[in-house]
């Protein structure tokens, strides 16, 4: 890895390690969830697709942990502070069937990607590239949309149930994002616009969460669901 002058700032380095640790744990959690949800798929083709999506998430995890190691951080230690919050979130949003799992993969993971992409705007170019590549759609959008819309077409009652599920995911994910940011001073500083800012810009954070909500609504609409 080439020298990155931005990492000479100890506060910034700590903030980046925190951010990458959170994203890495989110990626391995997504891998575990997709692998588990694959068991509920109605067809072999669907099972194979979810397995492929899971493998993409694990690839993201490996790239993030490799970058953490390049920064001189222990990836396991970097992920540690976020394990409890992420595990609690996934426990509260455990899928009851494969359709709920699809909505979680598309809506829930999409919301997390939006959140970390917003923070990425304040990162140095190399770290921003790593984050952006790790949050890239695992190729699941078209697959999820087609399967969910087909299920609604077959049984219109599915739409109401999945819309409620999507709203629950939104509430749980926003609560988790706010909790994680509030508990980690370094992430709070990045949300405020950089580790060198003297205080929180509450208006900017409010606009951030408004954008997250707008993106969530757009995803729900693409699925044929009410947000």
Name the strand (E) or helix (H) holding 2: none
Kindly tell me if the per-residue pLDDT of 195 is higher than 60.
no
How many other C-beta atoms lie within 10 A of the C-beta of residue 124? Answer: 14
pLDDT class for 197, splitting at 50, 70, 90?
very low
How many other C-beta atoms lie within 10 A of the C-beta of residue 80? Answer: 12
The structure's pTM equals: 0.87
pLDDT class for 194, splitting at 50, 70, 90?
low
Structural domain boundaries of the chain?
7-223
Kindly tell me if the per-residue pLDDT of 181 is higher than 70.
no
Q: What are phi and psi of 163, to 5 degrees?
A: -65, -40
Q: Dig out the tokens for 71 from the structure.
A: 């920064």
**7-223, what's its fold?**
Ferritin (1.20.1260)
**24-38, 56-70, 160-174, 199-213: which range is least confident on average?**
199-213
How far is CA 115 from its chain centroid?
A: 7
pLDDT given for residue 198 in this prediction: 43
Q: Dig out the tokens for 213 from the structure.
A: 């909500």
CA atoms within 13 A on the CB side of 47: 7
Contact 225, 153 (CB under 8 A): no
């Amino acid at each position: 890895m080439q020298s990155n002058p931005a990492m000479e700032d100890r506060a910034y380095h700590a903030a980046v390690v925190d951010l990458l640790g959170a994203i890495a744990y989110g990626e391995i959690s997504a891998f575990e969830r997709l692998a588990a949800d694959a068991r509920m798929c109605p067809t072999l083709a669907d099972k194979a697709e979810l397995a492929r999506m899971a493998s993409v998430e694990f690839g993201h995890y490996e790239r993030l942990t490799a970058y953490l190691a390049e920064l001189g951080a222990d990836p396991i230690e970097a992920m540690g502070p976020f394990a409890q919050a992420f595990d609690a979130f996934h426990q509260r949003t455990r899928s009851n069937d494969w359709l709920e799992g699809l909505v979680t993969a598309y809506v829930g993971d999409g919301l997390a990607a939006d959140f970390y992409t917003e923070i990425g705007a304040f990162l140095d170019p190399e770290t921003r590239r790593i984050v952006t590549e790790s949050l890239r759609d695992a190729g699941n959008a078209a697959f999820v949309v087609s399967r969910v819309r087909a299920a609604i077409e077959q049984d219109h009652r599915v739409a109401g149930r999945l819309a409620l599920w999507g709203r629950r995911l939104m509430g749980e994910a926003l609560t988790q994002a706010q909790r994680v940011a509030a508990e980690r001073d370094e992430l709070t500083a990045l949300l405020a616009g950089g580790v060198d800012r003297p205080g929180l810009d509450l208006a900017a954070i409010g606009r951030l969460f408004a954008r997250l909500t707008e993106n969530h609504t757009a995803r729900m609409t693409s699925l044929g669901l009410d947000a």
